[in-house]
Chains A and B, each alone.
Chain A
Amino acid sequence: MSWFKMLARNKLALIGLIIVILLVLSAIFAPLLAPHSPSEQRLEQALLLPSMEFPFGTDDLGRCIFSRIIFGARLSLLIGITVTAICAVTGVFIGMLAGFYGGIVDEVIMRLVDIFLAFPGLILALIIAGLMGPGMFNVMFALALVGWMGYARVVRGTVLAEKQKEFVETARALGATDLYLMYRHLLPNVMAPIIVMASVGIGHTILAAAGLSFLGVGVQPPTPVWGLMLKDGKGFLQTAPHLTIFPGLAIMVTVLAFNFLGDGLRDLLDPRLKEKRIE
């Protein structure tokens, strides 16, 4: 509870947290919340402006945009959270090995990271997803492949600093094995920056996934996805802008919410700020 109170003191973080919770709830209860089926096409209702029946209007095939956005949250969150989790776990594991063992292991791993970082992330993901063909699994694989390096770098740096500290030597003097030291003593010390990175990272991944969908290598129609809705709506940008405005807003609000939450967590988890509060 005290955690929540501390987070609640930061207004933006609180807003972020509330939006994220709402998003998760609407994704879970999408069939109950959506007024219409997300894939039901009624051409006589095409391109309607927002009204009581269709809060965000309808698209060129007469589908309810509001319902599609609610169902789209499912896939966006699924991709965002899964990919970020895979990236974080891989990055932490690889960074931990590099930082802990140092020497040749560190050298090889970090050069590999450098190679991956040398490519612009989204373009590499685009190539991988393009080569593997469209589909949700391929998009997730491509995004995971270009997203783990940041975590590896941060973890390696933190471990390099932490392993010099005396509590590591103390634990070793008391018979701790390498694995035990990494898992039990170093992992808790790298968690704070990783939690912050991951919460911001979910937003970035959702944005990247929308980008891939927009470019046509992501999830395929008729699945309701925000990026795809943008793509479909771009032909009607001048005549029916609500086709693109609402999915765009959904992406923006989601990414912003995760960023706010991440900033709030950064303040919350920073030990230096914590000391200040105690004084």
Chain B
Amino acid sequence: MSLLSIRNLTTVFHAKEGEIRACNNIDLDIAVGKSVGIIGETGCGKSVLGMSILRLLPRNVTTSGEIWYKNQNLLTLTANQLEKIRGTEIALLPQSPSTSLNPVIKTGLQITEGLQIHRKMKPSTARRQALEMLRILHLPVPEKKYQEYPHQMSGGMKQRILAAISITGQPSLLIADEPTKGLDAVLRAQVVELLQQLIRETGASLLLITHDLKVAARLCDEIGVMYAGEVIERGPAQKVLTEPEHHYTKGLLASLPDMGLCPIPGSSPSLLNQTTGCKFYPRCSARQEACRINPVPLQMCNGCYVRCLYSA
């Protein structure tokens, strides 16, 4: 049974230059207790997808389609209903730990506020619970860290604090938006472990948004590859990351350092003035004339959904 299912999600930014389709007809399912990764390069719309689910986008954005979560369509809920879902049902683990904590509030209080509001705990109980969470997340000297401000901590510690905050409401779905962005290799490994621990301890589903294929490979059961606002390939993580069907995914894998470091020629297209055909057409090595003109549907192919007319 799927916890979250997204149907035909289209997110459009109305900018001065025209309409920007950051997400185009996206279908996605996340099953209970499973981890789904969204990978793609910068600007392909993967963060917008995460924010669309929580409806945290600016006012000049229109979102159409359906996002079903536990039998309610998130796109039709009122602001009040959404505030009840955020944090307790769907929580966000934000990117960049350095700016996502309030610099003038002690970290301990930032954890307990969630416990007090979402779980109606008394201050003393919340304090005990927060310390317990910090201990579980292997934060050194939790009693001391509890009293410190964010600027007194290292990036890894802040990431742990944020992780603790994100699960204060016992969410069923955790959206991790590039949790490893800007971290060094050691810290990245720690964050991956942290995420594994989080989903193991809470039993929550995970939507991991990342451009780091290795992190996705370690954490995810299923992977969706996004390109220019579309999901171009979706399937079991093992399959997508070892024998991909779409030429773009193949290119992504070939550009990894230990796979030969071969970049994909060209750069990703502007999301303004989109063409009808395959978005990857200008950069594809196997392109045909038909790719340029015809819309390409997401088709089943060797156990994956692929958006390509000539997949291998």
A interface vs B, CB < 8 Å? Answer: 165-167, 169-177, 180, 184-185, 188-189, 191, 271, 275
**Interface segment out of the listed B162-170, B232-240, B263-271:** B162-170
Q: A184-B113, A275-B151 are in contact. Are A173 and B87 (CB under 8 A)?
A: yes
Query: 9 tightest CB-CB pairs across the interface, nearest first?
Result: A175-B87, A173-B92, A174-B87, A175-B86, A166-B100, A188-B104, A166-B99, A167-B102, A170-B100
CB pair A166 B96 closer than 8 Å: yes
A165 to B54, CA, bound (A): 17
Q: A166-B100, A173-B86, A175-B88 are in contact. Are A188 and B105 (CB under 8 A)?
A: yes
CB pair B166 A167 closer than 8 Å: no
A142 to B100, CA, bound (A): 42
CB pair A175 B118 closer than 8 Å: yes
CB pair A174 B99 closer than 8 Å: no
Cβ of B114 within 8 Å of any chain A Cβ, yes or no, is yes
Residues of A within 8 A of B102 (CB): 167, 171, 185, 188-189
Of all chain A residues, the one with the shortest Cβ separation from B118 is A175
Cβ of B18 within 8 Å of any chain A Cβ, yes or no, is no
Closest Cβ of chain A: how far from B78's Cβ, in Å?
13
CB pair B118 A169 closer than 8 Å: no
CB pair A170 B94 closer than 8 Å: yes
Cβ of B262 within 8 Å of any chain A Cβ, yes or no, is no
Residues of B within 8 A of A172 (CB): 56, 86
CB pair B101 A174 closer than 8 Å: no
Q: A188-B104, A188-B105, A189-B104 are in contact. Are A173 and B99 (CB under 8 A)?
A: no
Closest Cβ of chain A: how far from B113's Cβ, in Å?
7
Closest Cβ of chain B: how far from A189's Cβ, in Å?
5
Residues of A within 8 A of B165 (CB): 170, 174
CB pair B168 A167 closer than 8 Å: no
Residues of A within 8 A of B218 (CB): none
Of all chain A residues, the one with the shortest Cβ separation from B90 is A173
Q: A188-B104, A188-B105, A189-B104 are in contact. Are A170 and B92 (CB under 8 A)?
A: yes
CB pair A175 B85 closer than 8 Å: yes
Residues of B within 8 A of A188 (CB): 102, 104-105
Which label, helix, strand, loop or mixed, suits the secondary structure of the A interface?
Answer: helix
Residues of A within 8 A of B56 (CB): 169, 172-173
Closest Cβ of chain A: how far from B93's Cβ, in Å?
9
Most chain B CB atoms below 10 A, which of A170, A175, A177, A188:
A175
Residues of B within 8 A of A165 (CB): 99
Residues of B within 8 A of A173 (CB): 54, 56, 86-87, 91-92, 94, 175
A101 to B207, CA, bound (A): 30
Most chain A CB atoms below 10 A, which of B88, B94, B114, B169:
B94
A135 to B87, CA, bound (A): 54
A167 to B169, CA, bound (A): 17
Encoded as 1 (CB less than 8 Å from any A CB) or 0, chain B from 150 to 168 comes to 0100000000001001101
Closest Cβ of chain B: how far from A110's Cβ, in Å?
19
Q: A188-B105, A189-B104 are in contact. Are A175 and B117 (CB under 8 A)?
A: yes
Cβ of B282 within 8 Å of any chain A Cβ, yes or no, is no
Of all chain A residues, the one with the shortest Cβ separation from B109 is A184
Cβ of B103 within 8 Å of any chain A Cβ, yes or no, is yes
9 contacts between A and B (CB under 8 A): A167-B101, A169-B56, A170-B92, A173-B87, A173-B92, A174-B166, A175-B118, A189-B102, A271-B103
Of all chain A residues, the one with the shortest Cβ separation from B117 is A175
Cβ of B243 within 8 Å of any chain A Cβ, yes or no, is no
Most chain B CB atoms below 10 A, which of A166, A173, A176:
A173
Most chain B CB atoms below 10 A, which of A165, A172, A185, A188:
A172
Residues of B within 8 A of A169 (CB): 56, 92, 94, 100
Given contacts A172-B86, A173-B56, list 18 more A-B pairs with CB under 8 A: A166-B99, A167-B101, A170-B101, A172-B56, A173-B92, A173-B94, A174-B87, A174-B92, A175-B84, A175-B85, A175-B87, A175-B117, A176-B87, A177-B83, A185-B102, A189-B103, A189-B104, A271-B103
Q: A184-B113, A275-B151 are in contact. Are A174 and B104 (CB under 8 A)?
A: no
